[in-house]
Amino acid sequence: MYRYDEFDHTFVRERVAEFRSQVERRLSGDLTEDQFKPLRLMNGVYLQLHAYMLRVAIPYGTLSPRQLHALADIADKYDKGYGHLTTRQNIQFNWPALVDIPDLLDDLANVEMHAIQTSGNCIRNVTTDQYAGAAADEIEDPRPWCEIIRQWSTLHPEFSFLPRKFKIAVNASESDRAAFKFHYIGLRLQKNDAGKTGFEVIVGGGLGRTPYVGMTIREFLPPEHLLSYLEAVLRVYNERGRRDNLYKARIKILVNAMGLEAFREAVEEEWLRLKDRAIDLPEEERARIAAYFSPPSLLSKSLPSKALSEIEPAKEEAGARFQQWRKANTVAHKAPGHRIVNISLKPVGGAPGDVTSEQMRLIAGLGEDFSHGEVRTTHEQNFCLPHVHESNLYAVYTALDVAGLATPNIGLASDIIACPGLDYCNLANTRSIPIAQRIAKRVAARGDEEKIGELKIKISGCINACGHHHVGHIGILGVDKKGEEFYQITLGGSAAEDAAIGEIVGRGLSSAEVVDAVERLIDFYTHNKTGDERFLDAYRRLGADAFKEAIYANA
Amino acid sequence: MKIITGNRLSDGRVVYFSAAGQWSVDMGSAQRLHDGETETVLAAAQSLVHEIADAYLMDADPVNPSDNAPKDDMVSQIKPAGRTHIRETIRAAGPTVRPDLGRQAKNP
């Protein structure tokens, strides 16, 4: 993974010192809150319902065990012993005191981490496939490109005060595990007919109050022109994007107002001016950065090769649970004899994405011992160990199980994305986490989650859509109705390669009604599916009206 | 009836503006405000810029004895009211999903 050079170390330390001074000036009253707020936001510090919240950047979701240990120590030293994974692969701490945050940031800097550009109207953490470098269906590891974009965009003088925040995702597989079509710029690595690798460039996607699936602005961009092309897109947006209306300021609004063709022409015109001005990286610099992401020598940490049947537990029940976990939570690796292990942060009744300091330390240890020193965070609020040898799977499973981290539900109904909602968030209208907990308990009580199969449920506590409800197979949006919590259901959304925005199917449901409605949807699906048909495919086949009837039966 | 609430500057903790002109973590000590006096008191509260990150008015009601609130409950004398009553109840107590955290916890 990428390691800081002297410039990076100095830059981050100086930034912490600068923020320390800003905090001191605020505490002494030299700065007003209005003056201080944009400064703290530039350093990832929000003020939420109960306390400050610090969002720490995890570039493209890649962590070293040392970094994860440091995050665990920070959770204990400055917070309340836990953190929360976000849908941008970052981690949030919900309780730090402002007076402690400069010291906290110094501790982060010790392990080459920071909170810069995790807030504000700038280019945010670049996200990617959590299986990068390991996925069997990958064209190449997308993380060198993410790192190149990170370096280019960090404190970019032209793009530090955009009309609104800006999100970029890179995907390098046929499967979309980065939701790149719902990003402001989505980049898909692909090979053209001549076998050359390049980017499909998608613009104008996004969720929030006005969701759009992104549109292809360029079918094939030679990778050596990535930065100049990104710069052209950002420049057109920065110059023409609206600043008079917060809700109309994102690039998706501009693209749709101009029309894709007009936006493309403007970008291409700008790009022609830019592309020969040495913005793009020379090949040797790209290769230098790519070298940080060289694949691990996968044989070095493997136990002597054994047939899986030899290392499975003798007891039948334990064996069955292990096999269930292996099927649900691990996926094929590009290297024979290895698996990618997903670590579910969705225990039944837990808060989606929450992880205790002790769990962080355990995961860090497993990453060190069994995954070649790599741990990943996912945009679906889970962890992932990308390189685990088959012979080590049972040891990993056993350790995770003891720590409550082996719930076999990846991609299933209880693997719910939920925003912090009104339990923590200053913007939320309703709570999200309790709905997720109740749905997970209901599904667990049925005992047929594996049989239900892939079902993506996503919950947002307000229209800002941090819980990605628009792209849930079942989406749930919390709305305030005269001071009471109601929930609007959408159906048929998808953040994957079959991207779609869910359809609103009727009136909002009370907190008491919504879990029953979700169960009726599941019942309707299980009674009407054909063969191995997924919930989403059954919805697309049968249509909204049929499912709507199920929602409102008895409601 | 309205009271003034905000988040303490140093640590973000939820506080209420008392009749003594000070910020307190105890909602029960908040100054009860009625029409005609809210803006003046809010301005006084907001003037303590080195103590408070933000300050705003919220609706509140006196607790009716029939509400059966425990005597040692921190909202035993006042409770949030109006459209934001859920939000303000959560702010006062802590996350509903973590009863071990916030003012609701015995040892927060």
Kindly state the average pLDDT of the residues B64-79. Answer: 63
- A496 has a pLDDT exceeding 80: yes
What pLDDT score was predicted for residue A147?
96
First-to-last CA distance in chain B?
29
In percent, how much of chain A has pLDDT > 70?
97
Kindly state the average pLDDT of the residues A198-220. Answer: 97
- Least confident window among A34-38, A274-278, A372-376: A274-278
**Cα A532 off chain centre by:** 28
The nearest CA of chain B is from the CA of A96 a distance in Å of 7
Under the banding of pLDDT at 50, 70 and 90, the label for residue A313 is: low
Q: Compare CB distances from B10 to A80, A98, A437 and report the shortest one's residue.
A: A98
Kindly state the average pLDDT of the residues B7-34. Answer: 95
The nearest CA of chain A is from the CA of B29 a distance in Å of 18
Cβ within 8 Å, pair A97-B82: no
Under the banding of pLDDT at 50, 70 and 90, the label for residue B71 is: low
Under the banding of pLDDT at 50, 70 and 90, the label for residue A553 is: confident
How high is the mean pLDDT of chain B? 89
- DSSP characters over A221-260: E-GGGHHHHHHHHHHHHHHHS--S-GGG-SHHHHHHHH-H
Cβ within 8 Å, pair A422-B87: yes
What pLDDT score was predicted for residue A300?
47
Kindly state the average pLDDT of the residues A430-445. Answer: 98
What pLDDT score was predicted for residue B77?
83
Residue from B49, B56, B61, B96 whose CB has the most chain A CBs within 10 Å, to mutate = B49
Beta strand A457-460 with A474-481 is: parallel
Q: Note the pTM of the prediction, 2 decimals.
A: 0.94
What pLDDT score was predicted for residue A279?
83
Is the Cβ–Cβ distance between A400 and A393 less than 8 Å?
no
Phi/psi-derived region of residue A404, left when phi > 0, alpha when psi is between -120 and 50, beta in every other case: left
Kindly state the average pLDDT of the residues A478-487. Answer: 96
Under the banding of pLDDT at 50, 70 and 90, the label for residue B70 is: low
CA A350/CA A278 separation, integer angstroms: 50
Count contacts between A and B (CB, < 8 Å): 77
What pLDDT score was predicted for residue B68?
59
Residue from B8, B9, B15 whose CB has the most chain A CBs within 10 Å, to mutate = B9
Kindly state the average pLDDT of the residues A409-426. Answer: 98
Q: Compare CB distances from B11 to A32, A99, A480 and report the shortest one's residue.
A: A99
Distances (CA, A) of A68 to A102, A111, A144, A363, A457: 19, 9, 21, 8, 28
Q: Which residues contact A446 (CB under 8 A, 6 or more apart)?
A: A519, A522
What pLDDT score was predicted for residue A349?
95
Number of alpha carbons in the 13 Å side-chain half-sphere of residue A153? 29
Kindly list the residues from chain A whose CB atom is less than 8 angstroms away from the CB atom of residue B82: 483
Q: What is the 3-state secondary structure (H, E, C) of A85-145?
A: ECCCCCEEECCCCHHHHHHHHHHHHHCCCCCCCCCCCCECCCEECCCCCCECCECCCCHHH
What pLDDT score was predicted for residue A275?
85
Residue A113 main-chain phi, psi, to 5 deg: -135, 165
Kindly list the residues from chain B whose CB atom is less than 8 angstroms away from the CB atom of residue A95: 101
Cβ within 8 Å, pair A97-B14: no
Residue A389 corresponds to which tokens in the numbers above? 């040898």
CA A358/CA A366 separation, integer angstroms: 12
A177-200 tens-digit pLDDT? 999 999 999 999 999 999 999 999
How high is the mean pLDDT of chain A? 94
What pLDDT score was predicted for residue A315?
66
Kindly state the average pLDDT of the residues A289-304. Answer: 75
A51-84 tens-digit pLDDT? 999 999 999 999 999 999 999 999 999 999 999 9
CA A126/CA A451 separation, integer angstroms: 35
Residue A103 corresponds to which tokens in the numbers above? 């010291």
Residue carrying structure tokens 């499973």: A397
Residue B65 corresponds to which tokens in the numbers above? 């004895």
What pLDDT score was predicted for residue A2?
86
A134-144 tens-digit pLDDT? 999 999 999 99
A148-171 tens-digit pLDDT? 999 999 999 999 999 999 999 999
CA A9/CA A272 separation, integer angstroms: 35
